[in-house]
Amino acid sequence: MAGSNLIGWTRRNFLKASTIASAAAAIPAWLNAAQLSPFSQVNFSGPDSLRAHALSRGLFYGTAVNPSLLDVDGMTAGNTSDPYTLLVAGQANMLVAEYAMKWGPLRPTSATFNFAPADRLMRFAALAGQRVRGHNLCWHESLPDWFKTTATRDNARLLLVEHIQTVASRYRGQIHSWDVVNEAVEPKDGRPDGLRNSPWLGLMGPDYIELAFQTAAIADPGAKLTYNEYDIELDTAEQTAKRGYVMLLLRRLMARNVPIHAVGVQSHLKATGPQPGVGLQSFIREVRKMGLQVYITELDVNTRGLEGGPEAQDYAVAQVYRKYVSLVLPEPNVSAVITWGISAAHTWMNESKVEWAQREDGAPQRPLPFDDKMDATPAFSALRNAIDSSRASVAPVASAPAVDPATLYQPFRVQGSPTTAPPAVKSPRIQ
């Protein structure tokens, strides 16, 4: 892959884009005159990569990936020419599976696990010297079809414990951090504690959250255990209230000595409307007082409602990246920024059928640091510059531990699944 790429943004493009309400400000200083030239190039490989700039400041830049798109065999042989594979390997020092580690794809039946895609990701990360985040161990969505007919109040505890023990133990010592519980708060459901009326809550009660963290701590004691949540970035009344309920949950877990180390702030942002501000900053600082890290876990920018072509999209998206990353990264407990995908070629937005993820003009979304041709977008420069200005240079963080390919295997039957005689539940006791 070439070490530099052309970004054909002319001054006319920017002036045209600046007429849009959400991008009305003058061309920012971080896009200097050289970058505005149609003949200029933005270098993004090697020392100019997001990976190198993040490492130099003790940070993680990561991306969500689909393991099936990665040329693992070519990486093993040292001769891959696949642009996506090279981009992921060159830009990120942390990976997370977009789908492969969720219940649905990971557990096709109640009695079997399919680890092949997740194993593929682990193998790639080991080859590329990258860390991996596990996403996720407990969520109300992406549950397999069999869950509705199999899970009951009698066996839900066993199902959850068995799943976490099996998955987290398999990758024990190889995972940087697990999203143990994902999106457990929903104030609209009307509970005094703000918890979501999820299948897990209905089957087990609110202690399912504590059980998940306790079980993960035993299965993979070296991993950072994370609670991951969305719609807590803005200072709107709705998101401010949700932040408060998340804080209530965190304080409860800390007070009960539940092993939790970090909070994931998903950061699916919009180019139009309110932007993150002091409310999120205060939340991050309060979390720091509790001894918790913060990871920006699913960053991208939706341009629905924004008029204009690709240039207008790119300008607005870059503005959001610059302002947001410059807001959160100076906080010393924010140690990772992970975009939900790396290029527009594989963003979930351009694959989604939901209306709010699509542009009204039908044009593809351009929400990430690279476009569908694997060329750097202005968001790349915005993100890299925000990383550079966030803190002083430090020694690089440690590389990923090695993974033995001989340990990879196909789906297998799990002792104690609901289709066999269940043994006594061996799970940590809730205190």
Q: 53-105 pLDDT, tens per residue? A: 999 999 999 999 999 999 999 999 999 999 999 999 999 999 999 999 999 99
Beta bridge partners of 178: 134, 225
Cα 291 to Cα 93: distance, rounded to the nearest angstrom: 24
Collapsing DSSP to helix, strand or coil, 228 comes out as: strand
Query: Once rounded to an integer, what is the mean pLDDT over residues 213-223?
Result: 98
Please give the pLDDT value at position 48. 97
pLDDT in tens, 233-260: 999 999 999 999 999 999 999 999 999 9
Collapsing DSSP to helix, strand or coil, 51 comes out as: helix
Return the H-helix or E-strand segment holding 262.
strand 262-265
Q: Is the pLDDT at 266 greater than 50, yes or no?
A: yes
Token pair 């079809």 in the structure block, residue: 145
Report long-range pairs for 140-145 (Cβ below 8 Å, ≥24 apart).
Answer: 140/183, 140/184, 140/196, 140/198, 140/199, 140/200, 141/183, 142/99, 142/102, 142/103, 142/104, 142/105, 143/103, 143/104, 143/199, 144/103, 144/104, 144/107, 144/108, 144/109
- And the tokens for 56? 């130099």
Collapsing DSSP to helix, strand or coil, 33 comes out as: helix
Query: Once rounded to an integer, what is the mean pLDDT over residues 16-33?
Result: 34
Q: Is the pLDDT at 288 greater than 60, yes or no?
A: yes
Token pair 């309060």 in the structure block, residue: 286
Please give the pLDDT value at position 394. 62
Give percent above pLDDT 70 in the chain: 82
Query: Once rounded to an integer, what is the mean pLDDT over residues 107-123?
Result: 97
Cα 395 to Cα 414: distance, rounded to the nearest angstrom: 43
In one letter, which amino acid is 30? W
How high does pLDDT run on average in the chain? 86
Query: Once rounded to an integer, what is the mean pLDDT over residues 323-343?
Result: 98
Name the band, by pLDDT with cuts 50, 70 and 90, for residue 390: confident
Report long-range pairs for 200-207 (Cβ below 8 Å, ≥24 apart).
Answer: 200/138, 200/140, 200/156, 200/160, 203/151, 203/152, 203/153, 203/156, 204/153, 204/156, 204/157, 204/160, 207/430
Q: Is the pLDDT at 360 greater than 50, yes or no?
A: yes
Among 287, 171, 278, which residue's Cα sits nearest to residue 229? 287
| Strand intervals (E) in 324-419 | 334-339, 412-413
Query: Once rounded to an integer, what is the mean pLDDT over residues 135-161?
Result: 97
Cα dihedral across residues 332, 338, 343, 347: positive or negative? negative
Query: Once rounded to an integer, what is the mean pLDDT over residues 12-23?
Result: 33
